[in-house]
Structure 1
Amino acid sequence: MENQPATYPVRALSPSATLADAIALHWPEYLFEGLELAAFMLSACAFGTLLFYSESPVVVWAPSAVLRLVLMGIAMGGTAIAIILSPMGRRSGAHFNPVVSLTFFCLGKMHRLDALLYITSQFLGGAFGVVVARILIGPKLASPSVRYVVTVPGQYGVPLAFLAEFFMGLLTMTVVLQSSNRPRLSRITWLLVGLLVATYVIAFSPVSGFSLNPARTISSALFAGVWTAMWLYLTAPLLGMLLAASLYVLFSGSQAVLCAKIYHDLHSPCPFRCRFRRLAQPEPSASRL
C-alpha cells in the first residue's frame, strides 16, 4: 500500500448539509449498506438451512452439531470477507451494522445524517435479505431447527449471553481500530474481521446465538416472531464497541482514528471525514533524504 499513490476522492458532507444534500451525494453508499446486510442475511439463512434443517442431506452427512457449527462459522466468515472486499463494501466502508456506524459517529468520523441513513438502510436491508431468503428457500427457513436464524440466549442464560455480546463488540472494534489505523495492518483488516466472525459463530452461537448486530437480530425476529431478550442485542454490542472506541482514543488520541471504513483501498471514493491518505502516503526513499 505504501508504494502506491492514494487517488481516491473524499466526499464528506459539510457540517451544514441537509437531508437532501446527504441523499444526493451519498445515496450509493446508503443503498450499498442495505444490500450488504441483505447479502449477509441471505447467506446466514441459506447456510443455516443447509446445515441445520432437520431433513437437509448435510445433517445426514455430518451428524455432528459441532462440525456443522464450524462449517457455519467458515461460511459466515467468508461471507463477511466477500462483502468487505466487494465494490459495495469498498465504497460504503462495509459497516452493515448499526453499532459500527454509531460508534464511528461517536468518534467524529461520520456526519450525523450519514449515520442516520446508514442505520436506516441497514435495518431495511436486513429485513429485505430475509424476505428474499424466504422466497428462495421456502418453509424450511421457518422450521423449528432454523427459525430464520434467530438469535436467542443459549442454555447458559441471559447474563452470559450479555457478556458474550459485549465481549464480541469490545474485541471487534478494538481489532478494527488497532488494525485499520496502522500502515501494515490496514491491508488485512478485512481478513481479521472475517476470522473474528468465523470464531464468534463457532464459539458464541451456543451462548448468545451470535448477533453483534441489532439489525441482523431484528431482521430474524420480525419473521420468526421471537423477541427473547431483545434488549440484550440492542445494548451489549453497542456498549462493547463504545468502550473499545473510548479506550482507543484514551491511549492513542482522537486524531489516531483516520477513517470509518473497515477496509480502505486507495481508489474507492470515501464518504467520511477521512484522513487515511496520510497513512497511505509513500515514505521518502533513502535517495530523497
Structure 2
Amino acid sequence: MPMFSRRQVLVSEFLGTAFLLATVVGSGIMAERISGGNVGIALLGNTIPTGAVLVVLITMFGPISGAHFNPAVTLAMILNGNMKRVDGLPYVAAQLVGGIFGVLCAHLMFAEQVLQISHKARFGAGQWFSEFVATFGLVLTIFLVVKFKRDAIAMAVGLYITAAYWFTASTSFANPAVTVARALSNSFAGIAPLSVLPFILAQLIGAVAALAVFRFFEAEM
C-alpha cells in the first residue's frame, strides 16, 4: 500500500466528510422540494443517495486515510490501538471542518441562504437510544467486516446506513461530525443546536460499546 503524507490523509478526511454532508443535506433539500409534502418519499430520497455515496467515498478514500469521516469511528480506532492518539485530534478537526464545508456547499448548490441554524428539534429518550443503536451497529459493522471481509467494507457501511435511516427513530446520524454540521442547515436534514450534545453523547457511548463487543468476539478467535 502506498504511503501518504499527513496532509494527504487529512485532506482525504476533509473531502470525504464534505462530500458526505453535501449529499446528506443536498439530497434532503432536493427530496423535500420534489416530494409534494410526502415525508416518506422525502426520507427515501434522502436515504438512497447517502448510502450510495458512502460506498463511493469509502472506496475512494479508504486506501488513503481509512475513510473514517466520523469522530466516533476515529475514537474507536484509537481505543483499539489501530491509530495513534496524536493523530486523533487532526482527524476529528478535518471531519468537523469538512462536514460544515459540505453543508455550505449544499446550500450554495440549491440557492439557499448559506449560513443557517436548524430549528428542527430532535429530542427524547427514543431519539437518543436510536443514536446509540445506530452508532453501535455502524462501528461493529466496520470492525467485524474489516476483520473478516475487508474488501466488502464500503458496501457494508453503505447498506448499513441505508437500513438504519429507516429502522431508527432518529434516522441514524451515527456521527458527531454529521450531527454538528446538520445543525447548520434549517432543512429536511437539520437538527436544532440544543439537540446536538445528547446525540453526540449517545453516539460516543454506542461506539465504545461496539468496540467492547468486537473485542469479545476477537477474544474467541
Bin the TM-score by the shorter chain. 0.7 to 0.9
Shift, 1:142, TM fit = 8.1
- Partner of 2:193, secondary structure, is coil
Counterpart amino acid of 1:221?
A
**Is 1:169 the counterpart of 2:143 in the alignment?**
no
Structure-2 separation of matches of 1:90 and 1:176: 15
Q: What's 2:126 paired with? A: 160
Does 2:47 match 1:81?
A: no
Contact 1:166 1:236 in 2 (8 A): yes
Shift of 1:96: 0.3
Are residues 1:219 and 2:185 paired? no
Corresponding residue of 2:25: 45
Q: More displaced, 210-219 or 99-108?
A: 210-219
Alpha-carbon contact 1:84-1:190 (below 8 Å) kept: yes
Q: Conserved in 1, the CA contact under 8 Å of 2:25 and 2:182?
A: no
| CA RMSD of superposed structures (Å) | 2.5
Aligned to 1:245: 211
Q: Distance in 1 between matches of 2:211 and 2:203?
A: 12
Residue 202 (1) aligns with residue 166 (2): yes
Residue 178 (structure 1) aligned with residue 144 (structure 2):
yes
Deviations 1:93-130 (A, max 9, x none): 11000110011001111111211111110011111111
* SS of residue matched to 1:109: coil
For the residues of structure 2 that align with 1:141 and 1:116, how far apart are their CA atoms? 27
Which aligned segments of 4 or more residues in structure 1 are displaced greater than 4 angstroms? 140-143
Counterpart among 191, 198, 202 of residue 232 in structure 1: 198
- Aligned match of 1:29: 9
After superposition, what is the alpha-carbon deviation per residue over 1:40-72, rounded to whole angstroms, capped at 9, x for unaligned?
A: 1111121111111xxx3x224xx5322332232
Give the partner amino acid of 2:182.
Answer: S
Change (3 A) 1:37 1:152: farther
Please list the CA deviations of residues 234-273 of structure 1 after superposition, one character each: whole Å capped at 9, or x if unmatched: 111111111111122133139x7xxxxxxxxxxxxxxxxx
Structure 1 length as normaliser, TM-score?
0.68
Q: Which amino acid letter does the alignment assign opposite residue 161 of structure 2?
A: V
Do 1:152 and 1:208's aligned partners in 2 also have CA atoms closer than 8 Å?
no
Q: 1:151 to 1:122 in 2, by over 3 A?
A: farther
Q: Structure 1 residue 141: deviation in Å?
A: 7.7
Higher relative contact order (CA 8 A, sep 6+): 1
| Structure 2 unaligned residues grouped into runs of 5+ | none
Aligned length: 217
**Could you tell me which amino acid in structure 2 is paired with residue 59 of structure 1?**
S
The one-letter code of the counterpart of 2:24 is: A
8 A contact 1:170–1:243 mirrored in 2:
yes
Aligned residue identity for 2:18: A
Moved more, 157-166 or 131-140: 131-140
Change (3 A) 1:140 1:49: farther
**CA–CA distance in 1 between the matches of 2:114 and 2:35?**
15
Paired AA for residue 245 in structure 1 = L
Bigger Rg over Cα: 1
Distance 2:107 2:15 in 1: 16
Identity level (%): 23
